[in-house]
Amino acid sequence: MQEVSKYTVFNIREYLNGNNEELGEDDLRQVLSEFSCEKNPDVERFAKEQSIEFAKKQQSVTYLVFSTEDAELVGYFAITIKPITVNAESFSNTIKKKLARVSELNEQNHTYNMAAYLIAQLGKNYNNGANDRITGEELLGLAIKQLQQFDSRLSESVSHEPHELIQLLKILK
């Protein structure tokens, strides 16, 4: 769980992993049942009907955003990985070398194929006026912040001492 100013961002996998005795899939379904987005039924349908299955199949991960003031669900976002193609003809050789480390070059058309994070869903909860408690800009900012530091893992050094490695993501512009 990550606390950010007046919002708490909660990965639904924490409900599903069974690591917390107080949380479970039934609790998650109850929380999601209170999500409403009449402006975009697809956003509501994903939250209620697909987010759990997508997380179980590791197709995407959904993050619930709660108000720290009263723990009300104010919105959510889902992140997935998608293949992208980048035309690199106009890039400098330095950038091309960096891209080559994380992608595959198609020499015929001078493009790089790679995996990239995609904010697949983003929605505010319109149930009981919760949508007024967070702006779209704030919700998008929380999603981007989640992408900037997306994973960590334990590793051992040469002396076999465990230490945490944090993988970071840099967005190319």
Structure tokens at 154: 């334990």
pTM, to two decimals: 0.77
Domains by residue range for the chain, with CATH: 2-80+118-168 (3.40.630)
Q: Which amino acid belongs to residue 26?
A: D
pLDDT one-digit tens code per residue, 110-146: 899 988 889 999 999 999 999 999 999 999 999 998 8
- Reply yes or no on whether the pLDDT at 173 is more than 50: no
Are the C-beta atoms of 167 and 150 separated by less than 8 Å?
yes
Element (H, E) at 68: none
Element housing 43 (H / E): helix 41-45
Render pLDDT for 39-93 as a digit per residue (tens, 0 to 9): 999 999 999 999 999 999 999 999 999 999 999 999 999 999 999 998 888 888 9
Q: How confident is the model at residue 149 (pLDDT cuts 50, 70, 90)?
A: confident
CA angle 106, 109, 111 (to 5 degrees): 55
